[in-house]
Structure 1
């Protein structure tokens, strides 16, 4: 089928790749595999996938490095596969732009549910969006966020964001001029609570500003740093 979601599974363990593939194909996903980071990155840059499942600990190029290099070129949604006890690696993963993570050992059913949830949040998967009778759009000077289409435009040009970057922008924009602490943003946007990974928020804000700046410096300036506290979305008067 033409509109089958296309998934890339990158893991050095064949058993895990085969298991994930079997369950995803049962749900009518199209699945491709890569056995290491080099191969996975090459495929991810060469082709367009709807979601990439990426093992964090691989020989050679690990998942963090693959995600970092991928994010320089593409906003493909990424779910990192991590082992228990790799909390520091998960923090690194979020910093380089991972959208979600699954801890091994995992149930294949959890993988399917996480993939479906990320597809629903992804701007690239129009076929999974639900039709709504009311238009859920936030309109500001220089910036429009269409939440039904998961589409962001700045000065009438599309801005290509990862699902997590989009969620962060939408969350801030829903409450203009309200200051959010980094801890609040981690909890609300990442649904993630542990101390020591506040850099994740800073990194995503930086990346979000950079992407907006390429299209509209006015839109980028709407994300304001409140020193010592966190961030807010500020609407200028023009």
Structure 2
């Protein structure tokens, strides 16, 4: 699961890992989860039970991982509420693509005159390409996927620059200032002493 975590974090997602079904449900109740990727065969509480409980409690998307390729099991996964399923073994990129479709992150997002295309990794303002740098695009992707949440400098550094980055966390402030100059200052909000957040859709 750690390699999946790396794939998702590179795309700007915040990832929580659970070693069993009980931990998965703990995370579900403690954090705001948009998508749960659940293995059918989980210890303590089965993936099927976790899926049922998550779907009963809210609108979190569920993607089931299963080594069971029989059509009956695939139908069962969908009938208990799973939004999609992927048979093991699989390439992490395929799982990521399916997850993006469930989260609708393969579509363009509009904020007034701003159009953010996460799939093409481009941002347009009044239909003009802003030519964001890779780090600026990674930042805005991270904000979009966590919009409404306050992200600390440390969180942004780990997600965008990586765990091995050894520079000053003030580089986050510098890149956000430049990003604001391009997209407009009102979309990224500063929370003094806490971090930054991206406004929710109006």
Give TM-score, length-normalised by structure 1: 0.43
Partner of 1:24: 8
Deviation per residue, 1:1-55 (Å, 9 max, x gap): xxxxxxxxxxxxxxxx101101111111111100111110121122211111000
1:45/1:74 contact within 8 Å kept: no
Specify which of 92, 98, 109 is matched with residue 130 of structure 1: 109
Q: Which ranges in structure 2 are unaligned for 5 or more consecutive residues?
A: 113-202
Query: Relative to structure 1, is the Cα distance of residues 45 and 89 closer, same or farther in structure 2, using a 3 angstrom cutoff?
Result: farther
Partner of 1:222: none
Q: Aligned pair count?
A: 112
Query: Relative to structure 1, is the Cα distance of residues 108 and 78 closer, same or farther in structure 2, using a 3 angstrom cutoff?
Result: same
Matching of residue 78 in structure 1 with residue 62 in structure 2: yes
Specify which of 71, 76, 95 is matched with residue 92 of structure 1: 76
Measure, in 2, the Cα distance between the counterparts of 1:60 and 1:86: 24
Query: Relative to structure 1, is the Cα distance of residues 72 and 105 closer, same or farther in structure 2, using a 3 angstrom cutoff?
Result: same
2:35/2:63 contact within 8 Å kept: yes
Give TM-score, length-normalised by structure 2: 0.50
Measure, in 1, the Cα distance between the counterparts of 2:73 and 2:22: 19
Matching of residue 103 in structure 1 with residue 87 in structure 2: yes
Moved over 6 A (4+): none
Partner of 2:35: 51
How far residue 87 of structure 1 moved from its aligned partner, in angstroms, is 3.8
Higher relative contact order (CA 8 A, sep 6+): 2
2:21/2:42 contact within 8 Å kept: yes
SS in 2 for 1:41: helix
Partner of 2:174: none
How far residue 91 of structure 1 moved from its aligned partner, in angstroms, is 2.1
Measure, in 2, the Cα distance between the counterparts of 1:47 and 1:25: 17
Measure, in 2, the Cα distance between the counterparts of 1:84 and 1:70: 21
RMSD: 2.4
Query: Relative to structure 1, is the Cα distance of residues 38 and 86 closer, same or farther in structure 2, using a 3 angstrom cutoff?
Result: farther
Q: Which ranges in structure 1 are unaligned for 5 or more consecutive residues?
A: 1-16, 122-127, 134-238
Specify which of 21, 36, 39 is matched with residue 20 of structure 2: 36
Measure, in 2, the Cα distance between the counterparts of 1:93 and 1:39: 21
